[in-house]
Structure 1
Amino acid sequence: MDWYLKVLKNYVGFEGRARRKEYWMYSLINLLVYIALAIVEAMTGMVGDSGMGMLTLLYSLAVLIPGLAVSFRRLHDIDKSAWWLLIALVPLIGVIVLLVFACLEGTRGDNRFGPDPKADEGGVPATA
């Protein structure tokens, strides 16, 4: 939960780097919240014609900017520009490419986007 809150607190932090653990823990908790909200909406009959209820819509809007920010920082960690997010517009292939990028280990040591986040958080030192 700390990783999720860390991303939400840094909701406009588009610069710097985010390690894999930060990205995936945020994604996992985000998914669990979506599922919980969908269950609540289904049980209370709040689902609209679009298949999405008001709770999930409001939550989606609330986490849109933090989700983009952590995605930018994740790409920065592998020394890729955030412009790579636009590849998601390519059907199927784009999402697969972004999934592979999200799974890659970050650049060891400093890169053009900032210092190694593992070294800052007591992880593997940049020289190891």
Structure 2
Amino acid sequence: MGFSEAVKTCLRKYVTFSGRATRPEFWWFVLFFFLVIVIGGVIDLVLFGESTTAVTDTGASVGSETDFTPFTTIFGLLILLPYISVAVRRLHDTGRSGWWYWLGLIPLVGIIILIVWFASKGTTGSNKYGEDPQA
């Protein structure tokens, strides 16, 4: 499964929390999510950002920041549900309940455990969450 196919699949299954998702489907969508947020942030910075210049004895630096982020907020909210649903389907592929997604609320440890599970190979054949998406 390639990038565009994974994104189309995840957007088509916007709030489908049942079934299973392959590793490529999940990771391509994570990349898409990241790119959308970065591009939204750049657009917000260009349109609504403020530049500051700091001059010191050793040199100068320029920085930009903004507190108003409508594009990042809108894009993030639109993509949030498909991201959660593909993460739940990915957990299903590894034989775990989607409720394990809440493990991510535990700082650092929960996120690391979820990343390991998301990166691990799914169960071969069908499991209680559905047929093998690789088949």
Answer whether TM exceeds 0.5 for this pair.
yes
4+ residue stretches of structure 1 with deviation over 2 A? 46-49
1:13 equivalent among 7, 13, 16: 16
Identity among equivalent positions (%) equals: 36
Number of residues of Structure 1 aligned to a counterpart in Structure 2 = 117
State the alpha-carbon separation in 2 of the partners of residues 33 and 23 from structure 1.
Answer: 15
Q: Deviations over 1:6-39 (max 9, x none)?
A: 1011112110000000000001111111111111
Query: What SS does the corresponding residue of 2:127 show, helix, strand or coil?
Result: coil
Q: Deviations over 1:41-85 (max 9, x none)?
A: 111125753xx6001111111112111110110000000001111
2:106 equivalent among 71, 90, 113: 90
Alignment of 1:39-118 (within 5 A): 39-45=42-48, 48-49=66-67, 53-118=69-134
Letter in 1 for 2:6: W
The corresponding residue for 1:36 is 39
Q: Which runs of 5+ in 2 are unaligned?
A: 50-64
State the alpha-carbon separation in 2 of the partners of residues 95 and 7 from structure 1.
Answer: 21
Residues 1:27 and 2:43 aligned together = no
Greater C-alpha radius of gyration = 2
Q: Which runs of 5+ in 1 are unaligned?
A: 120-128
